[in-house]
Chains A and B, each alone.
Chain A
Amino acid sequence: MYNKDNILALWMSGKLSESELDELKKEKDFDQFKRIVDAFDNLQTPNYDSEKVWQNIKAAKLKKKRIRFIINRISALAASIVIIMGIYLTFNNNTNIKTLACQKKTIQLPDGSQVIMNAISEINYNAKNWEKKRTLFMTGEAFFKVKKGSKFTVNTNHGSVEVLGTSFNIFDRENIEVTCFTGKVKVTSVENKEILLLPNDKIRIDNKKVVKVKSEEITNPSWISGESRFQNAKITRVINELERQFDIKIDASNIKEHLFTGTFPHSDKELALKVVFDPLEIEFSSLTNNKIVLKEKK
């Protein structure tokens, strides 16, 4: 039936040449193959109680340890002439970096990994311990380019993200959104759901619901290049971003719910307000320099 006994394997890993792919597409079962493979994208193994397993291992280890402890005591006695004292002091070397409204910052971590922070965001990490443990805490939004090495973990209020070496964006404000650009990223929600992301996968966790979103951004999140892009986003999400980018307050109490798809620039406040609100038929007027009120037209 097939001239190679691994042709479907090569197809699933995306390694077929164009002519081979065209050949395969002519197979009558090709659509069925595709349907089966697609179905697996949404499947995960059942919950695994790693904490329980870990506790059992610890308990069993303890029994073994007692025996070893006695042996150690004997050898310690023989060597008691030499006493080595090591004093190990660790200082709490916490580094804390914040960005204000309309501000972006690029930070180099001790191992050379890079973090680009969007406005009103914060990261926290231990610089001294960094080589041993690449873990940081963040709120807000940031884009990470991680150098290859040991596990790199980002903790947020809505879950944690783990990678080896890759680039990805985290938005952690009202909800959490994670976009993977290169490599492989593992997201763990607060309810311990684990999701694996491959390049151009984006997920949003909103009210405990995990939703796969199509990512239109290819190599970098759009905000890095000075604009914010939205795809079917709630208007409140867009308004919050406008407030952060221009350090303004927007009164949205008089408008209905809208969905917004489009882009606004970070360089020009008037233009940004126009491109967001004009298409939605919303009027905006400035009370003072940094206070804006919205009203439905008609």
Chain B
Amino acid sequence: MIEKNTSDICKEEQFNAVFTEHSRELFNLMYYKTGDIDKAEDLVQDSFLKLWQNCRNVILDKVKTFLYTIANNLFLDNIKHEKIVLQHRVLIEDELDNETPEYKLEEKEFKEKIEIALAGLSEKQRVVFLMNRIDKLTYKEIAERLEISVKAVEKRMHNALLQLNSEIFNKR
């Protein structure tokens, strides 16, 4: 009896490679949706387990689509829609020396304003906007992952920026 039609994903090595390639990005997406590190990690974990259980039925080309669909369904099943506040780390410091204390304070306040404004976006807008701005995914890549059209991605980007702008600058 020769085992055939078994997708490579069942092999430890290949599964590991799939995990390395997609887990961070999937985590980010789940974080944008939930605003909760632990929940996002759980969702990533469960999605990969589902992939493992179905490793014989998923071909390598479709792994990404499979993972994103599963993760999204798990998210819809399990998560109550709560108002979320995302935290971001400032990672890269600019080399410029014009960082007077006043400037730094202003930047800090601005960052807080952004975090609050992000929570005010709809989930759809927030997810698309952060996938583009933080994960640096192109509109096409986002459209593939969320299974929507590029046009829809562009609309969400456009409206997200308008919304952020009015939350941050035009609130009385």
Residues of A within 8 A of B (CB): 2, 5-10, 12-13, 29, 32-33, 35-37, 39-50, 52-54, 56-57, 60-61, 64, 75, 78-79, 151, 184, 193-196, 198, 203, 209-214
Q: Is the CB of A42 within 8 A of B139?
A: no
A54, A57, A184: most-surrounded residue (chain B CB, <10 A): A57
> Inside 8 A of B95's CB, which chain A residues have their CB?
211-214
CA gap between A61 and B15 in the complex, in Å: 11
User: How distant is A253 from chain B, measured CB to nearest CB, in Å?
Assistant: 28
User: How distant is B33 from chain A, measured CB to nearest CB, in Å?
Assistant: 12
A33, A37, A48, A211: most-surrounded residue (chain B CB, <10 A): A48
The listed residue (B28, B53, B153, B169) touching A32 by CB distance below 8 A is B169
Q: Is the CB of A45 within 8 A of B155?
A: no
Assuming A42-B92, A57-B49, is B157 touching A151 (CB within 8 A)?
A: no
5 nearest CB pairs, A to B: A6-B154, A9-B157, A9-B154, A40-B133, A43-B88
Q: Is the CB of B134 within 8 A of A44?
A: yes
Q: Apart from A43-B91, A194-B24, A196-B136, what are 17 other A-B pairs with CB-CB below 8 Å? A: A12-B132, A29-B169, A32-B165, A36-B161, A37-B133, A39-B111, A44-B88, A44-B134, A45-B89, A46-B37, A48-B41, A53-B27, A53-B48, A56-B45, A57-B19, A203-B92, A211-B93
> Inside 8 A of A46's CB, which chain B residues have their CB?
31, 37, 87-89
CA gap between A42 and B164 in the complex, in Å: 17
The listed residue (B94, B134, B153, B156) touching A40 by CB distance below 8 A is B134
Residues of B within 8 A of A (CB): 1, 19, 21, 23-24, 27-28, 31-32, 37, 40-41, 44-45, 48-49, 52-53, 87-95, 110-111, 114, 132-136, 138-139, 151, 153-159, 161-162, 164-165, 168-169
Q: Is the CB of B151 within 8 A of A60?
A: no
CA gap between A232 and B141 in the complex, in Å: 38
Q: Is the CB of A198 within 8 A of B136?
A: yes
Q: Is the CB of A39 within 8 A of B155?
A: no
Q: Is the CB of A53 within 8 A of B91?
A: no
CA gap between A79 and B3 in the complex, in Å: 11
Q: Is the CB of A43 within 8 A of B90?
A: yes
User: How distant is A144 from chain B, measured CB to nearest CB, in Å?
Assistant: 20
Q: Is the CB of A39 within 8 A of B44?
A: no
CA gap between A75 and B1 in the complex, in Å: 8
CA gap between A212 and B139 in the complex, in Å: 25
Q: Is the CB of B49 within 8 A of A36?
A: no
Can you list 18 A-B pairs with a CB-CB distance of less than 8 A? A6-B155, A8-B162, A9-B155, A13-B132, A29-B169, A32-B169, A36-B114, A43-B114, A45-B27, A50-B27, A54-B23, A57-B45, A57-B48, A57-B52, A79-B1, A195-B92, A203-B92, A212-B94
